[in-house]
Structure 1
């Protein structure tokens, strides 16, 4: 296992974060995720953590929580392919769950039905499906 640490996002991290998201399929122009979006979410009580490999100073994972003052939403849990299946996704998720517990807030998330590893992880962490709900979005106004 590499020497790693979890730390809070800093503005200079965005290029590395975007590179990781592109590598892991989390980058999507339709989502309109940007450095500004991250900064705004942090001002409204969100959290964003970076998983860093200290031997290479590389961003190898991310997890982002946004806060609507009612509940937290988990976004962009991603781990570099070279580091997947080593427990890092769980480590990041547990960081988010601890934050939610301290804030006494629920966490809601969306996961693609084909992402079997993530689904297994989330189930093992106690997440449950919301029966009878369909996810909908309106991206343009």
Structure 2
């Protein structure tokens, strides 16, 4: 049986991470999620953790936190479909919460309203909806 290791992102992980994002519909270049934006966020006190199968070195999960000096933003928390509903999403979310607590910062996130599994995890861990807010973005 394969064992799973939680570790920090390394630049050599980018292509594997991009494949995971494509499989889980989390991001990619069209959203501005590229190696440069990851490295820039890490230089500004962000964090990116990956879950890796130790034998194959396959990345099966990730959690990216960015830091704007007021709060942390949780992005791209995703688990490969073959490994979902095994507690890995909660493990990554708890890691992010521990990091935020150590920094004495709050975490903000966005989650699609149809992602019931993620919504359940976030509710269990104490996240609350921001009443009255709509999410907007301008990409170009």
Report how far residue 57 of structure 1 moved.
1.4
| Partner of residue 106, structure 2 | 106
Report how far residue 113 of structure 1 moved.
0.6
C-alpha deviations, 1:81-106, integer Å up to 9, x for none?
11000000001111110000000000
What residue ranges of structure 2 are gaps of 5+ in the alignment? none
Alignment of 1:41-120 (within 5 A): 41-120=41-120
| Partner of residue 138, structure 1 | 138
Aligned residues: 140
CA contact (8 A) 2:18 2:28 kept: no
**Stretches of 4+ moved more than 6 A in 1?**
none
C-alpha deviations, 1:21-59, integer Å up to 9, x for none?
101111344311000000000000100001011132110
The normalised TM-score by structure 1 is: 0.96
Provide the C-alpha distance between the structure 1 equivalents of 2:110 and 2:28, rounded to a whole number of angstroms: 15
| Partner of residue 3, structure 1 | 3
The normalised TM-score by structure 2 is: 0.96
CA-based RMSD of the aligned residues comes to 1.1
Report how far residue 117 of structure 1 moved.
0.6
